[in-house]
Amino acid sequence: MRNDQREVNNLRPIKITKNYISHPEGSVLIEVGNTKVICNASIEDRVPPFMRGQGKGWITAEYAMLPRATAQRNIRESSKGKVSGRTMEIQRLIGRALRAVVDLDKIGERTVWVDCDVIQADGGTRTASITGAFIAVVLAFGKLLETKAISKMPVRDYLAAISVGVLPDGKEILDLNYEEDFQAHVDMNIVMTGSGEFVEIQGTGEEATFSNKQLQAMLGLAEEGLQQIVEVQKELIGNLADRIGETNPAK
């Protein structure tokens, strides 16, 4: 049993509140255990300079934490005047993951800005951000469909993310909370599609290493957990669920 009485393969409770903030085209508050992230998707009617004139769109993401999202207050990155390496890694990951399931050719010269702001942190903030951002993006595209700015849902498949890891006793576990993450010898983040393909695998031993067998065990836990999360996503987006994948050639 883990420090919060979960089995090794148990997810923490997930709660996603749609339309949490009123201004963005898509907005959710995602809660995964005690981790809480506001995910807003904004549609801008132009693309960055390096993409102009190609007739396709772009998705980019930014990630931040409130200073007191954590047990110790962190200095605000705007006060420091620069974004940390950790923040950059995470926001690049979120953007890349979303681009893997969106048909950028089908959204016109538009940019989707995804903002993931962690208001309370207890481990897994980057994976919660991806899972929540996916919904925010689908909702934002829902708005474009409503106004007939686009004619098909440009999202090819579901997208969700979860962490797995290896505790000092060698046990592989799913969905690490902060305390577990702090202790773990191996920390791995997996991003997958609804059909079970990998989008991103990032596994790291901090002052430690891991075997192929441990890798396989972690991948198994992640796959199981991600299927459950995708079910939550499907239910939440209601009617829009039928439209996921409608730009896929096969469909």
- Residues making up the annotated binding site are 86, 124-126
H/E element holding 202? Answer: strand 198-205
| Residues 38, 135, 57: CA angle, nearest 5 degrees | 100
If binding is defined by CB under 8 A, does position 242 make contact with a second copy? no
If binding is defined by CB under 8 A, does position 40 make contact with a second copy? yes
If binding is defined by CB under 8 A, does position 149 make contact with a second copy? no
Per CB under 8 A, contacts with a second copy among 72-101 are 73, 76-83, 85, 87-89, 91-92, 96, 99-101
Taking the least distance from each CB to a second copy, the nearer of 153 and 190 is 190
Which of 13, 50, 71, 249: binder of a second copy (CB under 8 A)? 71
Taking the least distance from each CB to a second copy, the nearer of 78 and 239 is 78
Taking the least distance from each CB to a second copy, the nearer of 171 and 235 is 171
Beta pairing partners, 244:
none
If binding is defined by CB under 8 A, does position 201 make contact with a second copy? yes
If binding is defined by CB under 8 A, does position 200 make contact with a second copy? yes
Q: How far apart are CA 219 and CA 208, in angstroms?
A: 18
| Nearest distance in Å: CB 240, a second copy | 20
Nearest to 27 by CA among 243, 239, 236: 236
Which of 16, 27, 164, 173: binder of a second copy (CB under 8 A)? 27
Binding site for phosphate: residue ranges?
86, 124-126
Beta pairing partners, 16:
30
Beta pairing partners, 27:
40
Sign of CA pseudo-dihedral 178, 182, 185, 190:
positive
| Nearest distance in Å: CB 11, a second copy | 20
Q: How far apart are CA 61 and CA 26, in angstroms?
A: 14
Residues ≥6 apart with Cβ < 8 Å to 100: 159, 191, 193, 199, 200
Calculate Rg over the CA atoms of the chain: 18
Q: How far apart are CA 65 and CA 35, in angstroms?
A: 11
If binding is defined by CB under 8 A, does position 17 make contact with a second copy? no
| Nearest distance in Å: CB 199, a second copy | 5
Binding site for a second copy (CB under 8 A): 21-24, 27, 34, 38, 40, 42, 44, 62, 64, 66-71, 73, 76-83, 85, 87-89, 91-92, 96, 99-101, 104, 113, 115, 117, 119-120, 188, 193, 196-212, 215, 219
